[in-house]
Structure 1
Amino acid sequence: MTGQNPLLIEWTTPFALPPFTQIRTDQFPAAFDQALREHEQEIAALTANPDAPTFANTIDALELAGQKLNQVGGVFWNLTGTDSTEELRAIEREISPLLTRHYTAISLNPDLFARVAELYRRRETLTLDEEQARLLELTYKGFVRTGAQLQGAARARYAEIAEQLTTLETEFAQNLLADETDFLFELEETDLAGVAEDVKAAAAQTAKDRNTTKPYALTLQRSNVEAFLSQSSRRDLREDLFKAWIARGENPGKTDNRPLIAQILALRQEKARLLGYETFADYKLEPTMAREPRAAMALMEQLWAPALRGAEDERAALQQIVDEEGGNFPLAAPDWRYYAEKLRRSRYALDQAELANYFQLERMIEAAFHCAEKLFDLRFQQRRDLPVYHPDVRAYEVTDGQGRHVAIFYGDYFARAGKRSGAWMSGFRGQRKLGGEERPVIVNVMNFSKPSPDRPSLLSLTEVMTLFHEFGHALHGMLSDVVYPSMSGTSTPTDFVEFPSQLYEHWALRPEVLQKFATHHETGAAMPQAMIDRIVAARHFNQGFGTVEFLASALVDFKLHWRPDAPEDIGAAETEILTGVAMPAFMVMRHRSPHFGHIFAGEGYAAGYYSYLWSETLDADGFAAFEETGDIFDPETARRLRDNVYAAGNRRDPNVAYAAFRGRAPDTAALLRKKGFA
Structure 2
Amino acid sequence: MKIRLMTATAPLVLGAMLMSGCTTVSAATDAPKAAAGDAATTYAGPFAKPSTLPFHAPDFASIGDSDYQPAIEAGIAAKRAEIAAIADNPAAPDFDNTIVALEKAGSLLTRVRNVFDQLVSANTNDTLDAVDTAMSPKLAALDDDMYLNEKLFARVKSVHDSAQGKALTGEDAMLLATTYADFVHEGALLAPAQKAQLKQMNLRLASLETEFSQKLTAGTAAADPVFDSAAQLDGMPEAAIAAAAKHAEDKGLKGKYAIALLNFTQHPALSQLKNRASRKTLFEASVNRTSSGGEYDTTGIVSELATLRAKKAALLGKPDFASWQMYDRMVTSPAKAMSFMQSFVPALSAAQTREAKELQDFAKAHGDDIALQPWDWGYYAEQVRRAKYDLDDAQIKPYFEVWRVLEDGVFHAATKTYGITFKRRTDLPVYHPTMRTYEVYDKDGSELALFYFDPFARPNKQGGAWMGNFVEQSYLTGDKPVIFNTLNIVPPAEGQPALATWDNVTTMFHEFGHALHGMFASQKYPSLAGSNTARDFVEFPSQFNENFATVPEVLNHYAKHYRTGAAIPPELIGKIEAASRFNQGLGLGETLEAAMLDMDWHRLTPEQAGQPPMAFEGKALAEMGLRTDLIPPRYRTPYFRHIWSNGYSAGYYAYIWTEMLAHDGWDWVEKHGGMTRANGDHIRASFLGQGHSKDYAVMYRDFTGYDPEVEPMLEARGLVSKGR
TM range (shorter): over 0.9
Report the Cα distance in structure 2 between the residues aligned to 1:123 and 1:587, rounded to whole angstroms: 56
Question: Residue 517 of structure 1: CA displacement?
Answer: 1.2
Whether 1:290 and 2:331 are equivalent positions in the alignment is yes
Give the CA deviation at 1:402: 2.4
> Separation in 2 of the partners of 1:583 and 1:101?
42
Residue 465 to residue 8, structure 1, CA distance change in 2 (3 Å): same
Question: In structure 1, how many angstroms separate the alpha carbons of the residues matched to 2:264 and 2:87?
Answer: 51
Measure, in 2, the Cα distance between the counterparts of 1:215 and 1:275.
Answer: 54
C-alpha separation in 1, matches of 2:712 and 2:265? 33
| AA partner of residue 223 (structure 2) | F
Q: Percent identity?
A: 37
Is 1:156 matched up with 2:196?
yes
* Amino acid corresponding to residue 343 of structure 1 in structure 2: V
Query: How far apart, in 2, do the equivalents of 1:125 and 1:241 lie?
Result: 58
1:279-358 to structure 2, matched below 5 A, reads: 279-358=320-399
CA distance in 2, matches of 1:136, 1:146: 16
Of 605-614 and 190-199, more deviation after overlay is shown by 190-199
Letter in structure 2 aligned against 1:412: D
Pairwise mapping of residues 8-407 of structure 1 onto structure 2 (< 5 A)? 8-122=48-162, 127-187=167-227, 188-222=229-263, 226-366=267-407, 367-407=409-449
Shift of 1:529: 0.6
**AA matched with 1:534:** K
Change (3 A) 1:221 1:543: same
Residues 307 and 609 in structure 2, CA contact (< 8 A), matched pair in contact too:
yes
Post-superposition Cα deviations, 1:181-229, rounded to whole Å, max 9, x if no partner, equal 2233333222221111232233233234434222532111259972311
Q: Secondary structure at the match of 1:70?
A: helix
Distance 1:66 1:47 in 2: 15
Structure-1-length-normalised TM-score: 0.97
SS at match of 1:608: coil
Letter of the 2:330 counterpart: M
Query: 1:325: how far off?
Result: 1.7
Paired letter, 2:570: Q
Q: 1:577 aligns with which of 620, 623, 631?
A: 620
Check whether the contact 1:307–1:545 (CA below 8 A) recurs between aligned residues: no
- Indicate yes or no: 2:699 matched with 1:657: yes
Mean CA deviation greater in 495-504 or 666-675 = 666-675
> After alignment, is 542-551 or 162-171 more displaced?
542-551
Match of 1:596 among 640, 643, 646: 640
Match of 2:678 in 1: 636
Cα distance in 1, alignment partners of residues 168 and 238 from structure 2: 61
Work out whether residues 518 and 531 of structure 2, in 8 Å CA contact, stay in contact via their aligned partners in 1.
yes
Counterpart for residue 646 of structure 1? 688
Cα distance in 2 for residues equivalent to 1:610 and 1:625: 23
Q: 1:124 to 1:656 in 2, by over 3 A?
A: farther
Between the two structures, name the one with larger relative contact order (CA 8 Å, sep ≥ 6).
2
Change (3 A) 1:611 1:591: same
Alpha carbons 2:450, 2:483 under 8 Å: kept: yes
SS at match of 2:258: strand
Q: Which amino acid aligns with 1:473?
A: H
**What SS does the corresponding residue of 2:168 show, helix, strand or coil?**
coil
CA distance in structure 1 between the aligned counterparts of 2:631 and 2:493, rounded to whole angstroms: 34
Shift of 1:378: 1.2
TM-superposed deviation, 1:126: 5.0
Instruction: Give the structure 1 partner of residue 461 of structure 2.
Output: 419
Aligned length, in residue pairs: 675
| Residue identity in the other structure for 1:475 | L
Check 1:185–1:345 CA distance in 2 against 1; reply closer, same or farther (3 A cut): same
- Work out the CA distance in 2 between the residues paired with 1:70 and 1:3: 15
SS class of match (1:392): coil
Shift of 1:3: 6.5
Counterpart contact for 1:567–1:573, Cα < 8 Å: no
Q: Is the 8 A contact 1:17 1:387 kept in 2?
A: no
Note if contact 2:111-2:471 (Cα within 8 Å) is conserved in structure 1: yes
Change (3 A) 1:361 1:556: same
Describe the SS at the equivalent of 2:205: helix
3-state DSSP class of the match of 2:344? helix
Which stretches in structure 2 are left out of the alignment for 5+ residues? Answer: 1-40
1:253 Cα deviation from its structure 2 partner? 1.5
**Is 1:587 paired with 2:627?**
no
Alpha-carbon shift at residue 167 of structure 1 (Å)? 0.5
TM-aligned CA distance change 1:294 to 1:184, over 3 Å: closer
Given that 1:2 and 1:9 are in contact with CA atoms closer than 8 Å, whether structure 2 keeps it comes out as no
Bigger shift: residues 354-363 or 180-189:
180-189
Residue 613 (structure 1) aligns with: 656
Deviation at 1:2, TM superposition (A): 5.3
1:410 and 2:466 equivalent? no
CA distance in 2, matches of 1:496, 1:152: 35
Distance 2:45 2:719 in 1: 58
Q: Cα gap change, 1:32/1:223 in structure 2, threshold over 3 Å: closer, same or farther?
A: closer
For 1:580, give the aligned amino acid.
E
CA distance 1:398–1:125, change in 2 (3 Å):
closer
- Say which is worse superposed, 467-476 or 115-124, in terms of deviation: 115-124
Distance 1:522 1:223 in 2: 32
TM-aligned CA deviation for residue 274 of structure 1 = 1.4
CA–CA distance in structure 1, aligned partners of residues 472 and 422 of structure 2: 18
SS in 2 for 1:506: helix
**1:148 and 1:432 mapped to 2: Cα distance?**
27
Could you give the per-residue CA deviations for residues 393-425 of structure 1, whole angstroms, max 9, x where no partner exists? Answer: 111111113221111100001111211111111
Structure 1 residue 441 corresponds to structure 2 residue 482: yes
Superposition deviation, residue 352 in structure 1: 1.6
Q: 1:223 to 1:111 in 2, by over 3 A?
A: closer
In structure 2, what residue type is equivalent to 1:425? M
* Superposition TM-score, scaled by structure 2 size: 0.91
For residue 375 of structure 1, report the CA deviation from its aligned partner.
1.6
For residues 152-197 of structure 1, give each alpha carbon's deviation from its aligned partner in whole angstroms, at most 9, with x where no partner exists: 2211111111111111111111110011222333332222211112
SS in structure 1 of the partner of residue 328 of structure 2: coil
Cα distance in structure 2, aligned partners of 1:554 and 1:289:
16
Q: Which residue number corresponds to residue 507 of structure 1?
A: 548
CA–CA separation in structure 2 for the residues paired with 1:118 and 1:306: 51
- Listed as ranges, the matches of 1:489-504 within 5 Å are 489-504=530-545
